[in-house]
Amino acid sequence: MSSLSAAVADIVAQDKPFAFFGHSVGALLAFEVARDLRRREAAVPFHLFVSGATAPHLCPDRPPRFHLQREQLLEEIRKLGGTPEDVLENSELLDLVLPTIRADFALFDTYTYHYEEPFDFPVTALAGDNDWEVDGLDTLQWDIHTRQSFRHHQFVGSHFFLHERSDDLRALIAREIERTAPGRLGTKRGFEAVEA
């Protein structure tokens, strides 16, 4: 994770304000890239959106899966949902996508959290109410990683609620960006939990 986050931080555009959105292991990556940028004293995102992800200080929260045999790994992928059964039954296609999926699991399974000061920009955590992978209570604990406002939104759906509720998700992100865009950031820390 540290190598990947450093590589992403190297290419983040610094010429205009930006926000980060990450889903699942991508949320941990966005979190670590933001911390890497802060350590470099570079521009940081004005808002971090984390979706379908356990708070970093609680990770990893399950036995490793990246080393599982093919059939066991396929069973884990089926539990997550979001991958069409046609793909899971196509041996040639699986040969192409399994290395990437295994790499995603490896990023999460080998992640090590190290304490740093909370961010000085807002964090919004997003979760599906029927997510087999992530406990909704664990997404609430992202609140300790910001000194600014924290909001939690729960959507009807599975781990891949972002596909199931994409219109609602885009609208929510647009509202949050409008609310927290540079020049509008407040200094009062607040907490709001909203069910969508």
Among residues 24, 51, 149, 158, which one is catalytic?
24
Non-local CB neighbours of 58 within 8 Å, separated by 6+ positions: 138, 141
Active-site annotation holds for 91: no
Separation CA 50–CA 71 (nearest Å):
30
Cβ atoms 29, 4 nearer than 8 A: yes
Return the closest-CA partner of residue 61 out of 21, 31, 25, 34: 25
Separation CA 48–CA 44 (nearest Å):
10
Return the closest-CA partner of residue 98 out of 75, 124, 129, 126: 75
Separation CA 100–CA 117 (nearest Å):
32
Backbone angles phi, psi at 28, to 5 degrees: -65, -40
- The token duo for 117 is 């000061």
Non-local CB neighbours of 180 within 8 Å, separated by 6+ positions: 19, 46, 47, 121, 122, 149
Active centre residues (catalytic): 24
